[in-house]
Structure 1
Amino acid sequence: MANGGAPPRSPSYDSADFEQPLLRAHGGLQPGKGPPAARDHEAQCSPLDGGATSLRTCFNGLNALSGVGLLSIPYALAEGGWLSLVLLLFVAAVCCYTGQLLQTCMSASPAVRSYPDIGARAFGLKGRFAVSLFMYAELYLVAIGFLILEGDNLDKLFPGTSLSFGPGIVVSGKQLFIVLVSIAILPTTWLRNLSVLAYVSASGVLASVVLVFCVLWAAVVDGVGFQGKGTMLNVSGLPTALGLYTFCYCGHAIFPTLCNSMKEKDKFSKVLVICFVACTLNYGSMAILGYLMYGDDVESQVTLNLPEGKLSSKLAIYTALINPFSKYALMVTPVATAIEEKLLAGNKRSMNMLIRTFIVISTVVIALTVPFFGHLMALVGSLLSVMASMLLPCICYLKIFGTARCSRAEVALIVMIIVLGSLVAASGTYSSLQKIIHEF
């Protein structure tokens, strides 16, 4: 057998088609692989001495887990009530554990380098397709959420703005800003080298801290105070709350990449725990602050509640606007690349630009049709994030290693997560769709 007796690598584990777009979208790459643009991006993520340090990996992990979910976390708490904070801790613990399962799955074979590879290892090409489908769908819907968020917050900054396109055609409010933002974002989606955008998106961790500080400043200094009493438990709102809580921890797609980038991969488990603890403290702080300030009247984005004209409010909104603007292209790039590969567009620049333009237009249409940020993010969290962050890691782990190699306690825990995750996915998806339909 060739290569010194080593078995040939199975085609089903070849990650080139799926992994590179995903890694470009999230800001990480395998050392030494990918096109020149990808290697430029890699230089940011891994030092030249053979891998990223634990500190750098921790920062990358925090950036992956810290996102626009921070804006909706007070709304999630309002939906579920004070006692639903226990569910936030539960979701954080479960997602951290399933992240550890992904790391263990990677140890099954050197060929496993990405999340789709784990699906392929467990279920072959069908597994790769299923994992990729859920990830791409999640990225596409998150990009739509970015446009809704931009429109809402810009309308808050510049109320009453309108634009006339002729007799009887006037576009105003957040619909106008969604269109304008999409026009400004469109050229960034045409870039093949996203290294510049990766530098900007790395500001996510700092932006998350600044947002919490601004909300605290509005309460203590700008006179908002802590007047919201809230409710202890709202059973009918628990599915929405769970969906939003899960959306906050949907970083599993890049955990394999972060692990591969480390010099000392055995320390990844500790890095993962640190990331989840730090993000949970940040999310919990924002949830408690926002709910104490506005109670059940808190908006789906807490920035929409902040007093107009105050410096803290403007800083919070501008900070909230930066990340979606910079990360939109990073979200749609893997979707676009997958379509380009399917259509054999290759390096045909005009075809690639046309495909990406069509994707942007489609997200604008959906954002204008379903302009409900909280409900959309709850749907993404319930349907897609639960699958990617809870169910698929558990199912793949049991398939790869089998129940015979796991302890009874471990199998019982994994089965419990699968059952509870399925209930959350079913109830949350139904509740979110029901609320979206009710809004029309």
Structure 2
Amino acid sequence: MTEEERRSAIDDGESCFEEDEKARGDDRTTGSFLHAVINMLGMLIGLGQLSTPYALENGGWASTFLLVGIGSVCAYTSCLLGKCMHKNPKSRDYKDIGHDAFGSKGRIIATTFIYLEIFMALVSYTISLHDNLANVFTAFTLSSAHLSASQLLVLIAVLVALPSLWLRDLSSISFLSSAGILLSLLIFTSVAYTAVSGAIRAHRYIPVLHLSKIPAISGLYMFSFAGHIVFPNLYNSMNDPSKFTKVSIVSFSMVTVMYTALGFMGAKMFGPQVSSQITLSMPRNLVVTKIALWATVLTPMTKYALEFAPFAMQLEQSLPPSFKSRTRMIIRGTVGSILLLTILVLALSVPYFEHVLSLTGSLVSVGICIIFPCAFYTRIFWRQISTPLMLFNLMIIAFGATLGAFGTFSSSRSLIISLQRGHTS
């Protein structure tokens, strides 16, 4: 195998997690059950936790059944991806499963949705960065003719994070991944401490159900469990892939419990006044609030290099073999910088966190996490699965499609209305 072929095989990955595993020289001690659970938790815990209290308060406490239901379905579809990987040991990532099921069309569709989810998630991260930075630097008053103080702050933050897109060192990117996980846990701990310590009385009334708001919040719940694009990489990293199903069950159970607890704590503390990002509702005079805000600000800055990695890998793979390493780095960094600045402009133009996140979950994540895994599994195991199981998978596909359609319509409508109001004001 030539050097270029070896690099192509390595670069055809979906995440830095896969790259990190290869950089360790196939160190199978990192593929233990506990390590796999920690990695899956890290993939699942993220931006979605900020909006869970807002979603629960708006949907009513009965909407937790939808939250648990979506979490259960996503755990099931995660297991289906593992079975598809077991069927074809040569499969390396989510795109390969799509190819095994539906050929080149399946690969193209999977790739399109993967990159669309990454792009929209980065827009949401940047909106979150913008919203929380304004609360961290309350004394910052500098502005320009075209940018407000908060917009200047997020511009500075993005410029600070920009060099991370030039990283090729896998250990540095792995460090960013670990930092993101710790920051997410820090946010949850801060909210939990605020509720438990009695700093705010958790006595607000939570309505039973707001049926009209269910389509919109379903997208928020859906995004909270989005992580399936890297599960095949996690499967390949395990020294005992037969335990992947147990890893999925344990990880999704823990995340679902955490989201439910966070949702109830936020909704009980702040009621109808709860923000679409729980950190924005917390009292400014508390130390834990400052910790949570800083954690929320730093989280997006750790995500840019991680989320850009798949684009960078595909870009380098498509470059001519004659290009030198320095040339590849310059092209990679330049394209990444342009992409990040484009995301920044879009985030500042559409500063509506809950609507963008809901649209991402309903339009893209529902396909990647629910519809596609069931469709891939059914197609690959067409001659082997029983009729009841086939019907069950078709029911889940229909459930996902319905959830996605209504959620996309509702979140798109809300986003358009907000844009119109913002333009008018």
Asked if TM exceeds 0.5, the reply is yes
Secondary structure of the structure 2 residue equivalent to 1:398? helix
Change (3 A) 1:78 1:173: farther
Secondary structure of the structure 2 residue equivalent to 1:353? helix
Q: Residue deviations 1:107-159, cap 9 Å, x none?
A: 22221121100001111111111111111111111111111111111101222
Secondary structure of the structure 1 residue equivalent to 2:400? helix
Secondary structure of the structure 1 residue equivalent to 2:285? coil
What amino acid sits opposite 1:105 in the alignment?
C
Secondary structure of the structure 2 residue equivalent to 1:405? coil
Q: Which stretch of structure 1 is more off in the superposition, 156-165 or 177-186? A: 156-165
Q: What residue in structure 1 maps to residue 192 of structure 2?
A: 216
What amino acid sits opposite 1:248 in the alignment?
S
Q: What residue in structure 2 maps to residue 178 of structure 1?
A: 154
Counterpart-to-counterpart distance in 2, 1:195 and 1:315: 26
State the Cα distance separating 1:344 from its structure 2 match: 5.0
Q: Residue deviations 1:55-106, cap 9 Å, x none?
A: 1111111111111111111111122111100001100110000011111111
Change (3 A) 1:216 1:48: closer
Counterpart-to-counterpart distance in 2, 1:360 and 1:204: 18
For residues 34-433 of structure 1, the aligned pairs below 5 Å read 39=23, 42=24, 47=27, 52-159=31-138, 161-165=140-144, 169=145, 171-221=147-197, 223-342=199-318, 347=325, 348=327, 349-402=329-382, 404-433=383-412
Counterpart-to-counterpart distance in 1, 2:192 and 2:201: 9
What amino acid sits opposite 2:385 in the alignment?
C
Contact conserved, 1:163 with 1:170, CA < 8 A, in 2? no
State the Cα distance separating 1:350 from its structure 2 match: 2.7
Secondary structure of the structure 2 residue equivalent to 1:202? helix
Q: Where does the alignment leave 5 or more consecutive residues of structure 2 unmatched?
A: 420-425
Q: What residue in structure 2 maps to residue 7 of structure 1?
A: none
Contact conserved, 2:179 with 2:302, CA < 8 A, in 1? no
Change (3 A) 1:336 1:438: farther
Q: What residue in structure 1 maps to residue 423 of structure 2?
A: none
Counterpart-to-counterpart distance in 1, 2:124 and 2:348: 11
Contact conserved, 2:155 with 2:344, CA < 8 A, in 1? yes
Q: TM-score, normalised by structure 1?
A: 0.88
Counterpart-to-counterpart distance in 1, 2:214 and 2:11: 35
Q: Which stretch of structure 1 is more off in the superposition, 366-375 or 221-230? A: 221-230
Contact conserved, 1:52 with 1:261, CA < 8 A, in 2? yes
State the Cα distance separating 1:262 from its structure 2 match: 1.0
What amino acid sits opposite 1:261 in the alignment?
S
Q: Residue deviations 1:381-435, cap 9 Å, x none?
A: 1111100000000111111111x42122211211111001001111111111111
Deviation >4 Å, runs of 4+: 339-347
Counterpart-to-counterpart distance in 2, 1:193 and 1:55: 26
Counterpart-to-counterpart distance in 1, 2:186 and 2:316: 38
Counterpart-to-counterpart distance in 2, 1:63 and 1:233: 31
State the Cα distance separating 1:31 from its structure 2 match: 5.7
Counterpart-to-counterpart distance in 2, 1:361 and 1:373: 18
Secondary structure of the structure 2 residue equivalent to 1:67? coil
State the Cα distance separating 1:342 from its structure 2 match: 4.7
Secondary structure of the structure 2 residue equivalent to 1:338? helix
Secondary structure of the structure 2 residue equivalent to 1:325? helix
Secondary structure of the structure 2 residue equivalent to 1:28? helix
- Pairs aligned (count): 410
Counterpart-to-counterpart distance in 1, 2:164 and 2:268: 39
Counterpart-to-counterpart distance in 2, 1:408 and 1:389: 23
Counterpart-to-counterpart distance in 1, 2:411 and 2:342: 21
Counterpart-to-counterpart distance in 1, 2:21 and 2:331: 29
What amino acid sits opposite 2:348 in the alignment?
L
Change (3 A) 1:113 1:291: same
Counterpart-to-counterpart distance in 2, 1:176 and 1:334: 29
What amino acid sits opposite 1:321 in the alignment?
V
What amino acid sits opposite 2:335 in the alignment?
I
What amino acid sits opposite 2:393 in the alignment?
I
Identity among equivalent pairs (%): 34
Q: Which of 19, 22, 25 is the aligned partner of 2:12?
A: 19
Counterpart-to-counterpart distance in 2, 1:330 and 1:306: 29
State the Cα distance separating 1:213 from its structure 2 match: 2.5
Q: Residue deviations 1:18-53, cap 9 Å, x none?
A: 732x222xx234865xxxxxx1xx46xx6355x611
Counterpart-to-counterpart distance in 1, 2:247 and 2:12: 22
Q: Which stretch of structure 1 is more off in the superposition, 259-268 or 329-338? A: 329-338
State the Cα distance separating 1:228 from its structure 2 match: 2.1
Q: What residue in structure 1 maps to residue 18 of structure 2?
A: 28
Q: What residue in structure 2 maps to residue 35 of structure 1?
A: none
Change (3 A) 1:30 1:161: closer
Contact conserved, 1:83 with 1:233, CA < 8 A, in 2? yes
State the Cα distance separating 1:261 from its structure 2 match: 0.8
Counterpart-to-counterpart distance in 1, 2:120 and 2:409: 17
Contact conserved, 2:28 with 2:237, CA < 8 A, in 1? no
Q: Where does the alignment leave 5 or more consecutive residues of structure 1 unmatched?
A: 1-10, 33-38
Counterpart-to-counterpart distance in 2, 1:133 and 1:87: 27
